[in-house]
A and B are shown apart, each in its own frame.
Chain A
Amino acid sequence: MEFLSPATLDEALAAKAAHRDAVPIMGGTDVMVELNFDRRRPDVLLDLTRVTELREWDVVDGHVRLGAGVTYARVVDELGGHLPGLALASRTVGSPQIRNRGTVGGNLGAASPAGDAHPPLLAAFAEVELASAGGVRRVPAAEFYTGVKRHAGADDELVTAVWVPTATGPQQFSKIGTRNAMVIAVAAFALALHPEERRVGTGIGSAAPTPRRAREAEDLLAGELDWEGRGALRETVAAEFGRLVAAAADPIDDVRGTAAYRRHALGVMARRCLGWAWAEQQDRHREGGH
């Protein structure tokens, strides 16, 4: 095995071009488990932890450009205001030790249907930045996940960042697991209200081959919400929203839960997230003096 430790992004991209089968390693919280248990024996490990460009975040044009190497712990500490949905989800990842090392870029690289960063990124209409020695492109999160643990990155590309519009409205995240720490989601749901565009974003986790949006549910809500924020949320709208979110899932039975349970849980989480988000939206209006 070869261990490559580039110090700059250019070096890292050149290394990936030269060794297309190299396995990138960032926090190692997925990769090292595979190595420790002999599930993977790559010829080349490409360590990205020394590439400082990947560890930075910045606000650019109403977006947070979040470097792929920013850890969950830092998202929680530094980005709760700009990216409340992602910060909420990050708080539920693993344990303090895992959040200190694990990164959003690693979650994207693994592209597990159960990855907790995916639902809030989908709901926020984020885009994934992929770079190769030949150039940089951006892929909407909804097109990034192409199959179970597969993504749109080519074998000479690295995930370099994710562009997430800074929140202009309430964002919520909910995750079902067997306890409050150290659990892979049985099902997860994220909701983002985008009042300026009068749009709604959703993300479903652990209940389909890939993380996905519930587009019909989004459209229903965008049309039914009283965006001026004065009206209460109608119970029939919330119920229909929950039903459409559950219908958008395509869950399976596995050791963590049954398909029927996952669907049911998604409907409940969707209604709850909507309730919390709408209460916050109304508070914002009251505070805003409308």
Chain B
Amino acid sequence: MRVTVTVNGERRTADDVWEGESLLHVLRERLGLPGSKNACEQGECGSCTVYLDGVTCCACLVAAGQADGREVTTVESLGDAEALHPLQRAFVDAGAVQCGFCTPGLLVAAHDLLARDPDPEDSDIREALAGNLCRCTGYEKIIDAVHLAAERMAAPADGGAR
């Protein structure tokens, strides 16, 4: 089947998509967007977190056809090596990245949290990131990174937020 999705503001089409295929597979293997990671394919790890019509979900649990005609926003939209998003900068600065496999999903989940709550408590962060697993960091530095990003985004003068 043909699937057309607006990804990060751009209309993209994939052909010969298998009807049972996930949105994650389409993004990674057909549209050249490998930022969303494939770790469990069962909704347990959150490394494939994207926005679908503005709501976060696991791309591995969305059938490609369900995303047809809809808007998808992936981690690739946050920033790139030249212009990191304050969250990405904070993850690096706080030492919240080790192997980095969980990082894209955490960034999208944290981005969603800060959009709703620019100054979250520890408990809010833990709850918002409960669906994202990290094997490496032990989470403390991830929580630090979200606080750091929140501080910098509240004072954009020194963060260059976008």
Contacts and interface: CB of A to CB of B under 8 A. Distances in A.
A33 to B, nearest CB: 5
Interface size class of A (residues with CB under 8 A): 20 to 34
A33 B49 CA distance: 15
Contacts of B66: 5, 25, 28, 47, 49
Given A3-B65, A28-B63, A37-B41, A97 B19 contact: no
A27 B19 CA distance: 16
Top 6 A-B pairs ranked by shortest CB distance?
A95-B131, A181-B130, A1-B19, A3-B19, A36-B41, A32-B61
Which residue of B46, B56, B61, B109 has the most chain A CB atoms within 10 A of its CB atom? B61
Contacts of B62: 28, 32, 101
A33 B46 CA distance: 14
7 contacts: A1-B18, A33-B41, A45-B20, A45-B65, A96-B112, A97-B58, A101-B57
Nearest to B38: A36
Contacts, number: 93
B49 A97 contact: yes
A232 interface: no
A33 B43 contact: yes
A94 interface: yes
B111 to A, nearest CB: 12
Interface in B15-62: 18-20, 22, 41-44, 46, 49, 55-58, 60-62
Interface size class of B (residues with CB under 8 A): 20 to 34
B161 interface: no
Contacts of A36: 22, 41-42, 60
A95 B45 CA distance: 10
A98 B132 CA distance: 11
Interface string B111-132: 0100000000000000110111
A3 B63 contact: yes
Given A25-B63, A101-B58, A101-B61, A1 B49 contact: no
Contacts of B49: 97
A100 B63 contact: no
A140 to B, nearest CB: 31
Contacts of B43: 29, 32-33, 94-95, 97-98
B157 interface: no
B81 interface: no
Given A36-B22, A36-B41, 6 more contacts: A28-B61, A94-B43, A96-B127, A97-B43, A100-B55, A101-B57
B1 interface: yes
A35 interface: yes
Contact of A33 (B1, B19, B61, B127): B61
A2 interface: yes
Contacts of A73: 55
A1 B58 CA distance: 23
B63 A95 contact: no
A148 B68 CA distance: 34
Contacts of B128: 96
B63 A97 contact: no
Nearest to B17: A3
A100 B56 contact: yes
Which residue of A35, A36, A95, A97 has the most chain B CB atoms within 10 A of its CB atom? A97
Interface string A206-222: 00000000000000000
A95 B20 contact: no
B58 A98 contact: yes
Nearest to A27: B61
B20 A47 contact: no
A1 B22 CA distance: 14
B131 A181 contact: yes
A95 B130 contact: yes
A180 interface: yes
A32 B56 contact: no
Interface in A93-109: 94-98, 100-101
